[in-house]
Structure 1
């Protein structure tokens, strides 16, 4: 889904990076550092995504993210959620400077583990200017890193390629291999994903569901061998959030039968939908794209954070309209645990809910049909992007 960077985050991140960068610049670099770069390119329908190139970075666009979420099970069968996101931001500042310390590209990362044993998220953050090889985003394929945090693609002759995600933080760490199952799923119109009635508010967006995961996880003092299933989103855009939108709700679900479901809604004041869409991949690989009036999120149960005071609808019904060939479907979204709020006021200033969920379906008796992640933004305060 449309990941974010707020004005608060951008100001904080640029301010921190700018000060360290400016100290390294010669006096004759000052004007170049202040200079504004070329305009951002527009996101337009009909632009065909090309792989493996589009797995890599698109540094001319305003913002971009690689977003992995998933469920892990350890040796004792204990289930946990995990999340890793790398952001690349182009502030259009310092692009004329010859200095490699110029903050013309910025990198940010969020990582978290949803551990029911702790009853809350374990999370950490990183931020740097792009300075290869320490921090940056490669353009040929997925290769993003901030110091010892990384998400990279590797392959050898005659062997399937894999992603590798590495994170080390105070309360947790993981080193995971993620093996794709099939080709990328193009969301929207062949990868062109609208976010509002005005078609300029859009992104290029694809997903890779059903990544097979194996590796090591440390949560607290315990280290575990884990396996599981994950979801990768890669999205890039040049537009800011629509003026009448307050935030959004998004899910990415790996279905038990091998299918996959992505759905989101942009949400305005008083919970009024601004836009919504979904992509449903059946087990046989066939795709159905749903538009604004075919996707309906309905809150069912709320949870209030004692830390931020924000109230989140942590349990949902999701309705997808039927067609001549398929009936209407109604799903229930239920969290692994209620407290999966990520509070980053000490750094980026943003507060949002992002956590592991189960998906159920049924009329008189619900049955679990998948697992994935739910993201909810704009409940603590409107996001400014």
Structure 2
């Protein structure tokens, strides 16, 4: 409204100044200013309008640029997301400082706020005499003679487990019951948080990659705003809409991952190598060494004092693993390396499908939706272009009229 009213004001000023010009030559300067301002304002109105629609509905070539290039914009957004966020190299740099082992260790060693609802210690039905007898038997066992074979048996059993199909079946079961949806929603919220936290870096990246003309006209800033708004809208729509295409694509990706875990020999071999690395780590062996003794001690305490909540010993075992993850540098490095390789491998394998969701989602938007969303994001700045065009045009007209007076 301000830009249009300013244009109308220049038109009225031009009419008045032309009528009064015969009385005083000074009015000619004002008429020249108003005339050039109208030209500049109309030209910028045409340019701004041509970005989103056809001016006055006329089929003028190279107008309605954004609706006409919606699919190309979708592909560019998807390509930008893939090149700058979903490549193994980028993820490796971002995950380089991630201490997954330390976070897991902290979680395991942090005491809970209280017992879980519905679980009360000491509710076992073993009689006091039988409990005492079993406790005495466990107390007389030689830890080395019994613990060693048990550790070796546990290691052999873990080695025999075909872990990839097991993980695939667990993932399939989770998806069948819909138990994976809270995880997906949490990841979407985390993605929104990360996007918000790195918004300035994204704007800087777009500014650095934009050519001089885009920076001069501030189109790079408007493109950054439009891109960020589109990503925020995509995340928000995905979170609130259970049938959103992105959710379906994630489900398809997880189904494919579960299928690969069960049926793909290459994936099975990769998981087997990771499992072998974990079993070969001395810290894991040390943890197994102490597992039997801690378990035996816990069972003895539980059998002798059933009401004392001997299950806390199991929590102690997990806490010991947590301390190992925090203090053992070799174990921590192995877990962190496993995390980086796993994430990078998943992105390398399925990153193309993720960015394809972005492209397909924007492609499915009708041209009016794309136009409204981008125009609402950058519309205010575009109207300032009209205002600036009106004023700059007027100043240029005033300068040219003054130059003409000097020449004549």
Q: TM-score, normalised by structure 2?
A: 0.18
The structure with the largest helix share of the pair is 2
The structure with the largest strand share of the pair is 1
